[in-house]
Structure 1
Amino acid sequence: MRISFKFKIAVISFAVSGALLTAFGLVFFAFVYQSGMDRMDREIRTFAESSLHGARPPEHWQDFDKSLNFIYGDTSATRMALLVLGMDDGIQFKSKNAPKELATLPRPKPPEQRMEPRPGIDEHFNTRLDRNQDGRVSFEEFDGPPHVFFETDRNNDGYLDRDEAEEIGSPPRGRFRRNGAPETPTFTQAFLTMETDSGNWRVGTFSDPNLTVHVAMDMVEFYSDINRFRTAFMIAVPLGLILMGIAGWFMAGRAMQPVAAIADTAEGITAKDLGKRIPMVGNDIELERLVTVSNNMLDRLQKSYNQAVRFSADAAHELQTPLTILQGELDNAIQSSEDGSTEQQNYSMLLDELRNLKAVVQKLLLLAHADEGRLNINPQSTDLGDLIESAVEDIEIMAPGLEIEKSIEEGIIVSADPALLNQTIRNMISNAAKYATGNGRVVFGLKQDAGSALFTLANTAPPIPDEDQPLLFDRFHRVDKARTTTGSGLGLSLAREIARAHGGDLVLAPYNDGMVSFTLTLPVHPGR
């Protein structure tokens, strides 16, 4: 199956663009999915971290549950779930919507940490806490969270002395930076997605020595967002692929425009116009090379063709004079010979062959002139019907056994050279008379149609083989490979060249009703 190069370019462009678009969409989808999971994890961690600083009474967790209702409104009852377990895994608090599967989750394993030597209490107290060297640490000097300061200040005097600072270790509880953010967390954490009877939950599990907190976030809204994105993706990708296909077809057409221009120009170069060259199209290196190579090839073809045409014309021209002299000598020999003698008959036979040879030379000369575009035409208003009627009379004399039929429309005038046109018609009828089978039929038809004169000549004959039809108008080509019939194989070729020189054509019509037909088309005289 033949496929256009433009189509191939468009398909490749569509495939590459589609693959890139699909890959980008999948990567972006994965990014959106992971971003949504990270967002839920951050929300869960934010709620849990603020409560993981020692044991809390049940009222704290009830207040914590109420704070969720304040943040999320009415949806908190279904969106967030909370389960708090003590050191003995006993339930300290459980929200109403907490799935029972939360209680089965294991405590997260603490991460392995490389222990570093801690500075002594004196060094830490003197250099990092008691910066004004007054023997105590004020609230402004303390670099930990406020609640640690107030829990450690047992005498509530607003200062931490050396003994109080020693209780919280070095550095103070949780090893906090000055801004209160932990350098390393004092709890372990783990996140997972859980499928339960009540739906899918994103669960964050946080554990310290005192308790374990499971904070679960319903994933209905998350999956709703993912489904909306997936739906938009499934709509946008096909539309994008369609647009890319259209754009690929358009770009392929733009890319092929220079090639099409080269092809159009090359298609217009004929044997009569080999001097025409393909113009340079665009600035592309590949196209520039193609045009250069094509023009160089045309130069070589033109040179070879001109040499062949010139040889044919020169040979035909040079042969005319000796043939004319030879014809005159044969005429004299016939006149000098005794009437009816064998010698006279031989001379007559030679004269007939000489006349055939002169006819061939004359045809070659005309074809050479046609190839050069120098066929001398003297156009005149010519009644095509009269020429055909004269041809009918000739064929009746040439082949009296043939059945002649004619349907000739009168008054069809063409602008043509009468001599050349008459030669074309006589070549056609000569061909019909030679190949008509037995006492067959020859049908003449002439009519005018859409500003053209159509002359059809048909004769009974076997169909022309398919392999011979494209070669029928080639010079010296003969369907009769055994060459049992007379002729040179130039008649139809010359007839077509004369027709085309007059702006018409000669073609083989489809085989019909046991008859081979040829149609001669000529433009009618202007005004007719």
Structure 2
Amino acid sequence: MMRRLSLTARMSLLFAACTATVSLVAGALFSRASEAHFIELDQQLLEGRLELFRSALRQVDTAAALPGSLPALRQVLTQHPDLDLRLDGNDGRIWFNTLTGQSTSPPPQPGLQRWREGGIDYRVLRAPLRLDGPSSADITLLLDITHHQHFLERMQALIWLTVGLSALATALLGAWVARQGLRPLHQMANVAAGVSASSLTTRLTEDGVPQELVELTGAFNAMLARLDDGFQRLSAFSADIAHELRTPLSNLLTQTQVTLSHPRRADDYRETLHSNLEELQRLAQMVSDMLFLAKAEHGLITARREPLDLAAELDALIEFYSPLTEESEVQISRTGEARVSADQSMLQRALSNLLDNALRFTPAGGAIDLKLEHDARGLRLTVANTGPVIAAELIPRLFDRFVRADPARREGGEHAGLGLAITRSIIQAHGGEIRCESADGWTRFIIQFPTGF
């Protein structure tokens, strides 16, 4: 399988290709401009010399008249050794030609042209000898431009060499620049490679980071923060669950060992089994609650919607808890009406948790108030009870697992501190949110459901 090029290599090759392209285009334009300049100079030179030869041959109309003008013609040729001359008469014969021994005739077309003969490059200008005659001999001037062509060839070779060297230099410099520019990415990769359960507090610094990587750096640090928070929560959860399971398991183990230490009556064994059954039921409920929370955290809990009369559901719960409220002389009331579309069993579980929690913390002779009301945000359900105020620093953690309002109290063996966490998961599964307020002798759990719930 072909190995993929690194980002540094790709950028280096891109820099080199761009530089080579620019250099090549610039060199080609310079070469073409130089060639056009030489052609213009040659044309000016040949046109100027053409007038000299016309002046020297102004008396020549026929081949017989040429010998009289030869001295003047040769004098002009002597003054310009880089020129050759050919006269083509109007009778089809060559009257004069300095290109002795040439096997190929110059181009017959009039005007300025390039011609090569015997390894020599010529710039050729062909024109009528006389401008006032209907049929005149043609004069052809040939300028040796071999040195021009050698210059252009050397310049083209230099252009190619420059293109190659500039591409190589740009590739090397581009690799260095790319490596320096990508250093934050390498640092990010090193940090990511070193991330483990014991190094989640490591963060990337944004000092000196290019503007394009600031957002990526912030997102990477935020990801590490989420991982750190999740790991801390998982570690705390593991410690909490170990602590919560240790007590009932220890009770079961101790009670069983004591019972088996010596023979007992059948009633004693039956009593021990009933006690163990209660502990096992508590453990089963705790495991079931933790499984529910685990599914909720991974979005596996789906609320089945059905029309419900929320006021009737609250009234049913009030009736269910009426023996407890009468025993503790707690006054419970409900106000407001609302119809909702929700999962009845899940919603009953959430409301039962809140009402049970309120009953446990409401002192004798206190009050519990259930209120249904509609506002601009939708439906709001408030479960309020009188009693001790919850410390402000504890309120943000009330809905975490195994958190109790009074950590010093066990609140009875049946409560493991999972009720509020389950309640929040159920409310969120229905698209709502829940919060707690505690002040002035009242503790309120406020559930906010969106419009159309």
TM-score (norm 1): 0.37
